[in-house]
Amino acid sequence: MRRGTVITTGKFTKGMEQAAFERGAAPITLIDGERLLDLLIEYEIGVSKRQLSMWNSHQCIFTQSEPSNTSIDVGITTHRATRPRHYLLLWTSYSALRRIYGHSHYRKRPKFSRIGSWEWDLASGIGTCSPGFFCVYGLDNAVTVTLCDWMALGLPEDRPAIQKVFDDAIAGIAPFAGEHRIIRHNDGAVRYVRVWGRVVRDADGSAITLIGATQDVTESNQSEWRHAQLAAIVANADVSIIGTDLDTRVMSWNHGAEQLYGYTSAEAIGRPLAVLIAPDEAAQLAHNTELIRKDTVVANFRGKRRTKDDRIIDVVATISPVRDVLGNIIGASAIAHDITPISELERSLEVNLTKYVTLFELALDQRH
C-alpha cells in the first residue's frame, strides 16, 4: 500500500496506529468511528438536523391508571456542541427508568418517582430544564433557573457536599452523581433527591455543559429506612424468627433462633428445617407446609423441637406465608416461643391433680 485511507466504525489497534505513523512508511489516513461520525455530521451525509424534543411519558402507560402529574422525561438533543452521538439526555432518562425497574420495592403497578432532566451551560450558568425538573423542585416553569439557583435549593448543611460533587465532576475526578436534601420552593418541604449526569467537554477537554437528571427519592428512602429498621428489629429480637423457602430450607435465622436452638446463623442457613423437628412430628411439618402453600396462616401451633444438643423443647409458633414483590408465595416465616417451663408446669399440675383426685376417692371409699 503506497497511500490511502483506512476507515473503521470502531477503534484502531495500537499496532495499526504505529504502522500508520512509522517513519518512512507510506502515508495512511486513519478514520476511526468517532471521526467518521464527525465527518458525516459536518458534511450532513446520512444525517438530518433536529431541534431539541422533549417527551413526557405518563405513568398510566405503565400502570394502566389515570393520567397524573407524575411523568418521565425523555429528551434527545442533536446540538453540535454536545456531541450528538452520545444522546446524553436519552441516556439519563433510560438510566432513570432502569433505576426504577431495578429497585427492590418495584411492584406490578409501580409508583414512579418524579424525575426531571436538565442541561447547564457552564459558561453562562443558564439551565434548560424539563417540566419534571420544575415539579421536583416546586418551581414555576416560567422562571429562568441558573446553576447557582439550583445549588441554592439544597439544604444549607448539604450544599458543601453538592459543591464537591460538582467540582469533582468538572475536574474529571469522579462522575457527577450523588444524593442530598433540597428545600422544595413552593411549600418549603424537605425532600431527598438523587442526581446524576455527565460533563460534556470540547475538543480541548474543557467542560462546557453538564447534562443529567434529578429524581425525587423521598418515599423510596423512607421505605428503605423502614425496611432496614424492621430488619434490625427482627435480627436482634429475643424471640425466634426463622424464614424458610417452600422446600423448608432455612433462609434466615435471627438472634432469638440462635439462643433457642443453639445453632449459629452460619450453621443453620441452607439446612432443612427438619433438623429442628422432633422425630414424631415430621408429618406435622409436611402438613403445615401444605397449609402455607394454600396461603393459610398456622397460628399458635404447639409442637416439639430438637436443639443442637439434642434436647427436646416445647414451643408455640405462628407460621405465616412469605410473598415476593409480585405477590407469589415463596416461603414461610415462623415465630416461635419456648414454652418448655410452662409445659413442665402443666404436666406437674396434671400429675398432682391425678394424685389428689386418687387420694380424694380413697378418702371417700374409707368413709363408706
Q: What pLDDT was estimated at residue 77?
A: 37
Shared domain for 21 and 135, answered yes or no, is no
Q: What pLDDT was estimated at residue 35?
A: 79
Is residue 361 in a domain?
Answer: no
Q: DSSP secondary-structure letter at 44?
A: T
Domain count, the chain: 3
SS3 102: coil
Q: What pLDDT was estimated at residue 51?
A: 60
Q: What pLDDT was estimated at residue 49?
A: 67
- Cross-strand pairs, 315: 303, 338
Query: pTM surpassing 0.75?
Result: no
Shared domain for 185 and 324, answered yes or no, is no
Answer for the pair 17, 30: CB distance below 8 angstroms, yes or no: yes
Q: What pLDDT was estimated at residue 228?
A: 76
Last residue of a domain, one of 224, 250, 282: 224
Q: What pLDDT was estimated at residue 311?
A: 93
Is residue 64 in a domain?
Answer: yes
For residue 106, count other CB atoms closer than 10 A to its CB.
13
Shared domain for 106 and 218, answered yes or no, is yes
Shared domain for 102 and 186, answered yes or no, is yes
Phi-psi region of 227 (alpha: psi -120 to 50; beta: other; left: phi over 0): alpha
Answer for the pair 305, 311: CB distance below 8 angstroms, yes or no: no
Tell me how far apart the alpha carbons of residues 268 and 275 are, in angstroms, rounded to a whole number: 9
Cell digits for 89? 439526555
Burial of 255 (C-beta count, 10 Å sphere; 0-12/13-18/19+): middle
- CATH code of the domain in which 173 resides: 3.30.450.20
Is residue 101 in a domain?
Answer: yes
Q: Which domain holds residue 33?
A: 4-42
Is residue 366 in a domain?
Answer: no
Shared domain for 207 and 314, answered yes or no, is no
Last residue of a domain, one of 192, 224, 256: 224
Q: DSSP secondary-structure letter at 85?
A: G
Shared domain for 65 and 205, answered yes or no, is yes
Shared domain for 147 and 255, answered yes or no, is no
Q: What pLDDT was estimated at residue 87?
A: 41
**Measured between alpha carbons, how far is residue 341 from residues 313, 314, 350 in Å?**
9, 8, 14
Shared domain for 70 and 180, answered yes or no, is yes
Last residue of a domain, one of 167, 192, 224: 224
The DSSP result for 234-290, as a single string, is HHH-SSEEEEEETT-BEEEE-HHHHHHH---HHHHTTSBGGGGB-GGGHHHHHHHHH
Is residue 230 in a domain?
Answer: no
Tell me the one-letter amino acid at 351: V
Shared domain for 118 and 249, answered yes or no, is no
Is residue 251 in a domain?
Answer: yes
Shared domain for 71 and 220, answered yes or no, is yes
Angle at 222 between CA 220 and CA 225, to 5 degrees: 110
Shared domain for 160 and 71, answered yes or no, is yes
Q: Which residues of the chain have a pLDDT value below 70?
A: 1-4, 19-27, 47-113, 325, 367-368
Shared domain for 102 and 17, answered yes or no, is no
